[in-house]
Structure 1
Amino acid sequence: MRLLQFSTSHYCRKARLILGYKKVAYEVENLTPGVHILRVKPLTGGQTVPVLLSEDGAIGDSTQIWHYLEKEYPDRTLILGDRHQQQQAQLLEDWLDESLGVATRFIYYHYRSGEGKSIDPSWFSQAIIQIVKRQYNINPRAVTLATQRLEVGLNILGNSWQHQPYLIGDRISIADITAAALLSPLALIPHYRSQYPWLFERIVEIHQHCGETLPPGLGG
């Protein structure tokens, strides 16, 4: 299998965590934002990564990749045995994908183009950041709203993750994988590292569980 990705994308990290948890062998093909469309669109008809190339064809979107891998590799499942708990886990995954993951993207790229520019001030890195900011219309007002949304979301997640290793039930689920991936860029932002230490403890634990390299800011 081959995973088409952006190396810095937290949605691609989610796909890697799922692959790692299921112990599926794969290769990575890193693409450049913008010109990646030339590679991705003929395969899926879309413009986003990750895309997993398998013997069954191209699977786009991290959630669809999870569904495909559950079907092909059911032994190491991320589906909880309790139906109600699994429904909760899938609701959390969807909320994280559509809300907190997006908010994190806005906050991260805003930070990297300002206070966090020193992380990688190279012209190439800053050019990619500006491409992403234009693509998603990341502006000061949107960042303010994203910051508010993320604060509420972290308080909700903290009700579980501050006191137990998993968000739902007594073992890892797709909710844990998704949260660990999509919130990982916050590790490079000092405010979040100091205010939410429990978050990064859980992110490290999930990465170790899945055999995935830790994200930047956490030893990766």
Structure 2
Amino acid sequence: MVYLEEKWPERSIYPSDPVDRQRCALLEDWADESLTGPAHWAVWCRGDDAPQKLLGQIADEHPTSGSRLQLAIKSRMLPMIFNMLVAKRRGGPEATARYFESQLDMLAGLLAHQPFLFGDEPTAADFAVVGQLANGLDFPGGKAVLEREHLTRMVRALLAYIQ
């Protein structure tokens, strides 16, 4: 992102105001971190043997053991295992769905009076959020995305903007 921002500063996807720029980075990180936990639950926590299946993907006995592929899988899967355990501590799919919906409510509140998080133009935070909303349709409670008018309006506005 830094490279793109330096190469084409006139087409920045970050706000020009320094405070809003930092807020944008925080919201982008929030989308990537807080909205993905339910996704990890939905993908990796189905069935009683889910932890074993997931650990099997990163175990040293796996056919890809020692390969770059296995190292890449490990670097992605270990946070997923953590999120899976956190989701189980939260109380399973129902609690995970409630958590996801609470995050959607917060996001919808930010979009109540404007099409994008920082006004009339999309930013990196909007792109990060929309990506998670699209994935979120498969999360526990994912249908809640479609039930929030401000969120669907944001998705439509972003699609119109990029076309």
Could you tell me the TM-score, scaled by structure 2's length? 0.62
Give 1:25's aligned residue.
none
Higher percent of residues as helix? 2
For structure 1, which runs of at least 5 residues remain unmatched after alignment? Answer: 1-65, 115-129, 212-220
Contact 1:78 1:173 in 2 (8 A): yes
Indicate if the aligned counterparts of 1:89 and 1:175 stay in contact, CA closer than 8 A.
Answer: yes
Which residue of structure 2 aligns with residue 163 of structure 1? 113
Q: Is the 8 A contact 2:137 2:143 kept in 1?
A: no
- 1:83 equivalent to 2:18? Answer yes
User: Structure 2 vs 1, CA of residues 204 and 108 (structure 1 numbering), >3 Å: closer, same or farther?
Assistant: farther
SS at 2:9 equivalent? coil
How far apart are residue 183 of structure 1 and its match?
Answer: 1.6
Deviations 1:158-181 (A, max 9, x none): 112233101124422111111111
Contact 1:161 1:167 in 2 (8 A): yes
Any gaps of 5 or more consecutive residues in structure 2?
Answer: 48-52, 58-76
Residues of 1 paired with 2:152 and 2:44: CA distance?
Answer: 21
CA contact (8 A) 2:101 2:144 kept: no
Counterparts of 1:204 and 1:186 in 2: how far apart (Å)?
Answer: 16
- 2:133 counterpart residue number: 183
Aligned to 1:99: 34
> CA separation in 1, counterparts of 2:145 and 2:23?
27
Output the CA distance in 2 between the equivalents of 1:70 and 1:104: 31
Aligned residues: 129
Please tell me the residue identity of whatever aligns with 2:150.
W
Q: Which residue matches 1:192?
A: 144
Q: CA 1:131 to 1:200, structure 2 compared with 1: closer, same or farther past 3 Å?
A: farther
Q: 1:149 aligns with which of 99, 115, 121?
A: 99
Task: Report the structure, 1 or 2, having the larger strand content.
Answer: 1
**Residues 57-72 of structure 1 aligned to structure 2 (within 5 Å):** 66-72=1-7
Task: State the shift of 1:92 in Å.
Answer: 0.7
Contact between 2:112 and 2:150, CA under 8 Å: does it hold in 1? yes
User: How far apart are residue 74 of structure 1 and its match?
Assistant: 1.8
In structure 1, the partner of 2:155 is 203
Relative CO higher for 1 or 2, CA cutoff 8 Å, sep ≥ 6? 2
Listed one character per residue, the Cα deviations across residues 171-212 of structure 1 (whole Å, up to 9, x for unaligned) are 22111111111221234576325532431231232133224x
| TM-score normalized by the length of structure 1 | 0.48
* Structure with the greater alpha carbon radius of gyration: 2
Q: Classify 1:67/1:188 alpha carbon distance in 2 versus 1 (closer, same or farther; 3 Å).
A: same
